[in-house]
Structure 1
Amino acid sequence: QEFVTLYADFLLNKVVDRQFRAFRRGFNMVTDDSPLASLFRPEELELLVCGSQQYDFMELMKSSEYDGGYSSESPVIQQFWELVHDMSDDDKKKLLQFTTGSARVPVGGLARLKLIIARHGPDTDRLPTAHTCFNVLLLPEYSSKEKLKDRLYKAIKYSQGFGML
C-alpha cells in the first residue's frame, strides 16, 4: 500500500513539480498586485481557465446559424438536433470537440458559441467535416436519420486533431 501511495504521489505531483512551480510563479506575477486577485473568487478563476461544465445544447441550437441552403426548418437539421439531444454527455463533448476543436464550454455557455451548419452536397457516403477555426460543421444532406446518425457518430468517434485515425 505504501508503494502505491508513493508511486501515485510521484506520478501526480513530483513529476510535474517544476512545471507547476513555473506556472504558479507566472500566475502570481499576473495576479498578486493586480485587481484580478480581489475581483475573482477561486470558482470564477476556474471557470475562466477551464470553462463551464454545463453542456446545454439547447442554447447551442438556438445560437446556431445555417448556410448553403439549410435553415432551422430543414429536415436534416431537425434530425441533427434530435440526435444531438439524445446523445450521451460524452458524445456531446466529442461533438463539441469535433466542431470547435475544444470539448470545453466557453465562458457564458454554449449560447455564446456561434456554430454554423452548412450543407455539404447531396446524400453521400462521406462523413461530416468541420472547420474548427470557424466553428463550421459541413453536413451532407443525408437521405435518412439513420444514415445521418451513422455518419455523425463515426465522424465524432474517429476524428482527432487535424486528421482521421
Structure 2
Amino acid sequence: MSEDSDEEFNQAIQASLEDQIGAGCTENVPVTKLLNDLAAQINVNATSKFNINRSAVLDGTIRGFKRSSYNPRHRISVTFSDDSGNTEEAIDLGGPRREFLRLLMQALKQSSMFEGAEESQNLALDSQALREDRYFIAGRAIAISLVHGGPAPGFLSSTLFSCLSGSPETAKPTLDDVADIELRGKIKRILESATMTELNSAIEPLLDYLTNCGCLRAMKTVNDKEMLLEDILMFQVINRVRGPFERFCEGMKTLGVLEQLQQHPDAFCPLLCHKTRQLTADILDNLFQIQFSESGSNRRMAENNVTAYWRDYLQDAEDEEGPTKLGKILTFATGASEIPPIGFSPQPSIEFLHDEQTVFNSSHGVSAARFPMANTCVNCLRIPLHSAYEAFKTNMDFAIANTQGFGMQ
C-alpha cells in the first residue's frame, strides 16, 4: 500500500471514529426551545375538548384521548364540572388547561401504573391497566403536558428514564427500585450474605419466586450472588413490566417527545425525574410583569406602595411554608403550581384593583376589590390596594386558600 493510500485509509478511520463519537453526543439545547419547537405543531384554531371532574381526572382524560375526534395537535379546551355535575363558568383559554394538566400529572403519580418512592417511581404491573391500554394513556399524557404547557411529571426513577432514553437491556436497576418491601428485604439478605451458608439460607425463601422468574441457579461460591442479584433486579424492575413499558413508550412518542428525549436526554432528565429547583420569592417576583399606571400619577403612588406589600408577601410566604405556599400563589394566578418547562404564554402579569374597579362577588358576599382576582386565561393577577400590609396579607391569604372558584375570571 502506498503512502497516499495509507493516509487516505487513516483519514477514513478517523472520520468513522468521529462519526461514532458524534452519534453518541447531544447538543446542549435548552429544553424550553426543544418543547417550543414541538409546540409549533399545535393548531390553535382547532380544539380537542375534555370534560373533567376534579375528583376523577384520569377517567376524564381517558375518555378525551379515546374520543374519535381527539387530535394531539389540537389546542386543549377543558371544562370542569363540580360534584353536582354542573358546568363551571371557566371554559379553557389557558388557565383551566394548565390546572387540568397539573392535576393529571398528580393523578398519574398516584395511580396503580406506578410504584416506588414518591419522587422515584417505576412502572408497576397492573393487568387491568394493561388490558385497558392505560400505559399508553400515561405516556401520551406526559408528552401532551410537556408540549401543551403543563408541568413535567418529575417523579420517574432514573432507572425508568434510562430505559426511555436508551434501552431496557442496558439499564442498571438497584435494590431501591424494588417497591415490594417484603421482597426487597429478602433480596437484601442475599446481597449481605458473606458465606455460602448465609447465601443458601437467604435463597431458600425465594425458591418459588426464582423459579417463576427464571433466575434459579446453583450457587458454587458466594461471589455467584452478584449475577443472581443482577438477574433478580432486571426481572423485577425491567422485564416483568416489558409489556407496559412498550405501550408507555408508544404514548411518549406523541408529538415527537420520545424522539427528542432520546436525542437530548440531559435536557429532559430534570423534567421527568425528581427536580431539585424549587420556587423562591425572587423567582416568582421576577416572573410577573407589573403593569404600572403613568409615572407621577396618584394611581402610581398607590401602586408603588402595594408593590412593596406584594414583594413582602412573597418573602413571608417563602419564610412560612416555602415552595408550597409560593406554588399556591402561582396556581391562583395561572392555574399552574410551577413554571411549565415550556414557559408561560402570555407571561404572567400583575395589575391593580383601583376603587372604581370594585366588583361585588355574589358567591362570597364581599367586595372583590378587597381581595385579589385572577384571570388564569391570560395569567393576570390583579391585586387590591390596601393602606396597611396586614390587611393586604390577610385578604391575599383568604383568597388563595379558597382558590377554586374564588376571584377567578
Tell whether the structures are fold-level matches, with TM greater than 0.5.
yes
Is the contact between residue 100 and residue 135 of structure 1 (CA under 8 Å) also seen in structure 2? yes
**Greater RCO structure (CA 8 Å; 6+ sep):** 1
Is the contact between residue 271 and residue 341 of structure 2 (CA under 8 Å) also seen in structure 1? no
Cα displacement string for residues 38-59 of structure 1 (whole angstroms, at most 9, x for unaligned residues): 2223514527xx9884213313
TM-score normalized with structure 2 length: 0.32
Pair 1:93 & 2:327 matched? yes
SS state at 1:119 partner: strand
The one-letter amino acid paired with 2:347 is: K
Shift of 1:148: 0.5
Give the 5 Å matches for 1:131-150: 131-150=375-394
Distance of 1:51 and 1:136 partners within structure 2 = 26
Give the 5 Å matches for 1:1-165: 12-13=112-113, 14=126, 16-17=129-130, 18-22=133-137, 23=139, 24=248, 25-28=250-253, 30=256, 34-41=259-266, 43-46=269-272, 53-63=277-287, 64-68=289-293, 69-70=299-300, 74-87=304-317, 88=321, 89-107=323-341, 114-122=347-355, 126-160=370-404, 163-164=405-406
The sequence identity of aligned pairs, in percent, is 21
Is the contact between residue 128 and residue 138 of structure 1 (CA under 8 Å) also seen in structure 2? yes
Number of equivalent positions: 149
Is the contact between residue 135 and residue 251 of structure 2 (CA under 8 Å) also seen in structure 1? no
Shift of 1:113: 7.9
Shift of 1:107: 2.8
The structure-2 alpha-carbon separation of the partners of 1:128 and 1:95, relative to structure 1 and needing over 3 Å to count, comes to same
The structure-2 alpha-carbon separation of the partners of 1:107 and 1:28, relative to structure 1 and needing over 3 Å to count, comes to closer
Distance of 1:84 and 1:105 partners within structure 2 = 16
SS state at 2:382 partner: strand
The structure-2 alpha-carbon separation of the partners of 1:52 and 1:119, relative to structure 1 and needing over 3 Å to count, comes to farther
TM-score normalized with structure 1 length: 0.70
Distance of 1:96 and 1:158 partners within structure 2 = 14
The structure-2 alpha-carbon separation of the partners of 1:139 and 1:31, relative to structure 1 and needing over 3 Å to count, comes to closer
SS state at 1:99 partner: helix
Higher CA-based Rg: 2
Is the contact between residue 129 and residue 135 of structure 2 (CA under 8 Å) also seen in structure 1? yes
Listed as ranges, the gaps of 5+ residues in structure 2 are 1-110, 114-125, 140-247, 294-298, 359-366
Shift of 1:159: 1.3
Shift of 1:83: 1.2
Listed as ranges, the gaps of 5+ residues in structure 1 are 1-10
The structure-2 alpha-carbon separation of the partners of 1:149 and 1:141, relative to structure 1 and needing over 3 Å to count, comes to same
